[in-house]
């Protein structure tokens, strides 16, 4: 019978263990390269879109291709409203 050699110790119940979200670094890289706050609550002014003014959490509608290239247009969304990074006229943190 094999014995378990590795243990993961944490104080309190297992649900209190907060493992890092693997997307966090990716979102940080995308945010830095495109200079937009992906994953944060924002107010966005859009050009060329039926919704000119949106508020909510800015998310990726589709992940960009790797390696990341700032010249690529990002597919973004707030809620169910999708738009491109090129349609952002201005943004601010909400």
d(CA 50, CA 66): 30
Structure token pair of residue 44:
């966005």
Q: Which pTM was predicted?
A: 0.74
Identify any residues that bridge with 41 across adjacent strands, giving them in sequence order.
Answer: 57
Q: Where are the alpha helices (DSSP H) in the chain?
A: 23-34
Q: Are 92 and 43 spatial neighbours (Cβ–Cβ below 8 Å)?
A: yes
Least reliable range by pLDDT among 19-28, 43-52, 53-62, 72-81: 19-28
Average pLDDT over residues 13-18: 57
Q: Is it the case that residue 51 has pLDDT exceeding 60? A: yes
Structure token pair of residue 28:
């940080």
């Amino acid at each position: 019978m094999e014995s378990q050699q590795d243990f993961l110790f944490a104080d309190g119940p297992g649900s209190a263990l907060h493992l890092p979200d693997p997307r966090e670094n990716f979102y940080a890289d995308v945010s830095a390269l495109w200079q937009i706050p992906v994953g944060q609550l924002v107010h966005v002014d859009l050009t060329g879109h039926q919704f000119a003014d949106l508020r909510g959490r800015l998310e990726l509608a589709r992940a960009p291709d790797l390696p990341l290239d700032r010249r690529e247009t990002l597919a973004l969304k707030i809620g169910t409203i999708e738009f491109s990074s090129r349609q952002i006229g201005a943004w601010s943190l909400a």
